[in-house]
Amino acid sequence: MAVAAAAVLSACQIPSADPEARPDLEPVTATATPVQMRTGYPEQTVQTVPLAGPAAEPEAEISGLDWFGDVLVLLPQYPDRYDHNLFGLPRQALAAALSDPGKTPIEPFPIPLVNGSELRSLEGYEGLEAIVFTGSRFYLAVEGRSKGRMLGYLIPGKVLGNLDGLELDLANALLLPPQTSLMNKAYESLLIQGSQVVAIHELAGKETNPERHALLLSAELEMVGTLNVPEVEFRITDATRLDRYNRFWAVNFHWPGEKQLPTQADAIRERWGEGASHKDVAIVERLLEMEIRDGRIALVDRPPVELVLLDEVVARNWEGIVRWADEGVLVVTDRFPTTILAFVPFPENE
């Protein structure tokens, strides 16, 4: 299987720009002026990338995305459902699919998690939530639940060869402190800032996580400190890498059936208004731009990018996001309503 993966890579890799690159944009100075009317960007329609094979199955429950070189790595929540494999898509195949929407679905190749069976040894193990690569190393965010409380783990690992496999370093796994008593809520976003790892909890709401903060850790997973996090209602499910200004995009999602999360107040909606498909609908599918500055994470003073909703009932549970050059982002859902990989263009005036 490793040989097959390597063969696919060698055949498909092409020279390209840094997949996380974006045009240089000068940082924006925040303003406290209240806005009472719709001032945001137009809602963006997603362009789906048809998938084939195991990764296209809802049971894959894709929970995160990141780039390793020119390969997009898709993280299934439970790799043991697929012989302990993650999935990879070459950039060239993605570019071809985006340029020809009617093209035959593309099938991600398997990436072995060589000691993935050991994940079940973690107390309360409930699957993988995020992945981030830095050089030949990677980190996984893992969710768990035990004795009525949520657990989070951060696990380091190394890349074998040219993505021939991934090897976990479970001996150095770190148990992350919980930030809320709400069930099924843990750390879902990982960033690399210089040589440090940033772990962001999925809840940052006024009521759901009043002590909200991100964890700052060394490459060896020693605790360095914390970063204050802005008030963001609903869930933050994944984040892109940082750009040169320490900015990133995060997925902000809400499904009305999530009864644990209050929906009465949403400062972002009050600040920028809402698009046509979001108006008077409880579903939230949007991208927020944030930045790390002055020892904290802050919202950039730009409107959110809302996605045109399917309808008033069906919510797409976007769980992964990466940049697509300077054109937009790629996002992916878990099993609800099914596996969807899609491109979201940046608004024209972004």
In sequence order, the β-bridge partners of residue 342 are 48, 331
* Rounded CA separation 171/223 (Å): 17
pLDDT on residue 7: 37
Chain centroid offset of residue 153 CA? 17
The label of the residue with tokens 């790390």 reads: 292
Question: For residue 44, what is the DSSP state?
Answer: B
pLDDT on residue 2: 39
Which tens digit of pLDDT belongs to each residue from 93-104? Answer: 999 999 998 889
Distances (CA, A) of 118 to 113, 149, 209: 10, 22, 31
- DSSP secondary structure of 146-186: ETTEEEEEEEEEEEETTTTEEEE-GGG-EEEPP----TT--
Question: Domains plus CATH for the chain?
Answer: 2-11+47-345 (2.115.10)
pLDDT on residue 28: 40
Percentage of the chain exceeding pLDDT 90: 79
**What is the pTM for the complete model shown?**
0.88
Residues in the chain, total: 350
Q: Order the strands of the 71-76 sheet from edge to edge.
A: 62-68, 71-76, 85-90, 109-112
Which tens digit of pLDDT belongs to each residue from 118-128? Answer: 999 999 999 99
- List phi, psi (to 5°) of 96: -65, -40
Number of helices and strands in the chain (H, E): 3, 23
The label of the residue with tokens 């002026």 reads: 33
The label of the residue with tokens 């997009």 reads: 72
In sequence order, the β-bridge partners of residue 103 are none
129 touches 188 (CB < 8 A): yes
138 touches 163 (CB < 8 A): no
Tell me how many degrees the CA angle 219-222-228 measures, rounded to the nearest 5. 95
* Rounded CA separation 63/253 (Å): 13
The label of the residue with tokens 């490793």 reads: 2
Question: For residue 113, what is the DSSP state?
Answer: B
Q: CA dihedral in degrees (225, 231, 236, 242; nearest 10)?
A: -60
Which tens digit of pLDDT belongs to each residue from 45-55? Answer: 999 999 999 99
Low-confidence ranges of the chain (pLDDT < 70): 1-38, 262-264, 349-350
233 touches 206 (CB < 8 A): yes
